[in-house]
Amino acid sequence: MKDISNPQSTKEILKKHGFTFKKSLGQNFLIDRNILSNIVAQANLTEESGAIEIGPGIGALTEFIAREAKKVVAFEIDQRLLPILKETLAPYPHASVIHSDILEADVHEVITREFQGIEDIMVVANLPYYVTTPIIMKLLTEKLPIRGIVCMIQKEVADRLAAKPGTKEYNSLSIAIQYYAEAETVMKVPKTVFVPAPNVDSAVIRLTIRKEPPISVKDETFFFALIRASFGQRRKTLWNNLINNLNLSNQKEALQAVFDTTGIDPKRRGETLTIEEFGILSDAIGPLVKE
């Protein structure tokens, strides 16, 4: 039996069902079995694992996941793909498809219902590029009982997610991701292995969920607000960004005292601070904002 991902198989399936790609849904289907096999290998699935997929397309990646995992549940937003998936995934009765937008789905409820008795759950997906960040943040912030996420995303975004302090890619998203997970780019993927080919190169990133965040902060909401404020205007200093974006213009003396106490130079830019330094600042500046 030919893989779904075989270029000829893909062409035949699309032609048979008269399927046309919707640019608005970011549909780019993988047609390279080595890439698909490598993506699944990065998830370290076993025959006792459960897997969640987002945007299965015609089932190319789903098939490779199903060969390794005990149970696969895929979320597909495009109703036109449901009959195709019913046909292509027929050899894999342990793979099911939910017609739903992952951003609106109650993933906790789906896990409880679909993965009974399965303790090891991974998200494995070729994510639509236009909603990559909201999907990943939803999966991380909802504190789902998953081991991690292995996903194909735009290379530029992958570089930001795994970026280190002091690099041009490092931003508020890098810190938010790394608060919840350890991020590592595991594979670069050329645009030529997709139908249709996207305009950008891709990368596979692996996010391993942390049992505890790397730092403990008094107010998580303010911690993330402080980070966003610090990157408000990238070329500005920490001092200017915090004064302008946290409305601290009447608290300059108190803010200076915070920098003096913490030993963090207010002339630095946000991109040079580690997550630990942001944690220290968050706890010290939080009370000023609430006054």
Residue 248 has pLDDT above 90, yes or no: no
267: phi then psi, degrees, rounded to nearest 5? -85, -10
- Paired tokens of 9: 């198989």
Whether the pTM exceeds 0.75: the reply is yes
C-alpha 75/C-alpha 99 separation (Å) is 6
| Statement to judge: residues 196 and 229 lie in one domain | no
170 and 204 housed in the same domain? yes
Count of structural domains, the chain: 2
Residues 173, 272 within the same domain: no
pLDDT of residue 15: 92
**Which parts of the chain fold into alpha helices (H)?**
7-17, 33-42, 60-66, 82-88, 107-114, 132-141, 155-161, 172-180, 220-230, 238-245, 252-262, 275-290
In this model, does residue 10 exceed pLDDT 80?
yes
Q: What are 67-122's pLDDT values in tens digits?
A: 999 999 999 999 999 999 999 999 999 999 999 999 999 999 999 999 999 999 99
Q: At 249, is the pLDDT very low, low, confident or very high (cuts 50, 70, 90)?
A: confident
In this prediction, residue 112 carries a pLDDT of 97
152, 176, 209: which is the final residue of a domain?
209
Does 250 share its domain with 141?
Answer: no
* Both tokens assigned to 210: 């942390």
- Write down the pLDDT at residue 291: 60
Distance CA 242, CA 231 (A): 9
Range of the domain at 30: 7-209
Q: Are residues 246 and 173 in the same domain?
A: no
- The CATH number given to whatever domain includes residue 265 is 1.10.8.100
| Cα 249 from chain centroid (whole Å) | 36
Of 166, 128, 101, 115, nearest to 28 by C-alpha is: 128
| One domain for residues 173 and 224 | no
Phi, psi (rounded to 5 degrees) for 87: -80, -50
| pLDDT band with cut points at 50, 70 and 90 for residue 195 | confident
Task: Give a yes or no: residue 55 inside a domain.
Answer: yes
Strands (E), 17-101: 29-30, 49-54, 71-76, 95-99
Arithmetic mean of pLDDT, 168-188: 95
Cα gap 125→127, rounded to integer Å? 6
Residues 233 and 120 in one domain: no
Contacting residues for 265 by C-beta, under 8 A, at least 6 apart: 238, 259
Is 95 in the same domain as 128? Answer: yes
Reply yes or no on whether the pLDDT at 137 is more than 80. yes
Sheet holding 148-154, edge to edge: 95-99, 71-76, 49-54, 120-126, 148-154, 202-209, 181-189
Residues 173 and 235 in one domain: no
Identify the three-state secondary structure at position 187. strand
pLDDT (0 to 100) of residue 118: 97
Could you give phi then psi for residue 116, rounded to 5 degrees? Answer: -60, 130
According to the 3-state scheme, what is the secondary structure of 211-228? CCCCCCCCCHHHHHHHHH
Of 209, 236, 267, the one marking the end of a domain is 209
Contact 138, 102 (CB under 8 A): yes
Is the residue at 241 inside a domain?
yes
Binding residues for S-adenosyl-L-methionine, by number, are: 28, 30, 55, 76, 101, 126
State the distance between the two ends of the chain, measured CA to CA, in whole angstroms: 68
pLDDT at 87: 95
Q: Is residue 247 located within the same domain as residue 190?
A: no
Establish if 1 belongs to a structural domain: no
Do the domain assignments include residue 80? yes
Annotated binding site: 28, 30, 55, 76, 101, 126
pLDDT tens column, 15-69:
999 988 887 777 788 889 999 999 999 999 999 999 999 999 999 999 999 999 9
User: What is the structure's pLDDT at 81?
Assistant: 95
Summarize pLDDT for 205-246 with one digit per residue, the tens.
999 999 999 999 999 999 999 999 999 887 899 999 999 999
pLDDT of residue 222: 95
Question: One-letter amino acid identity for 167?
Answer: T
pLDDT score of 186 more than 80: yes
For residue 282, give Cα distances in angstroms to 65, 235, 258. Answer: 41, 21, 10
| Judgement on whether residues 41 and 154 belong to the same structural domain of the protein | yes
Asked if the model's pLDDT at residue 1 lies above 70, the reply is no
Residue 266 binned pLDDT confidence (cut-offs 50, 70, 90):
very high
Q: Of 58 and 249, which is predicted with more confidence?
A: 58
Which two tokens mark 13? 């399936």
Same domain, 172 and 152: yes
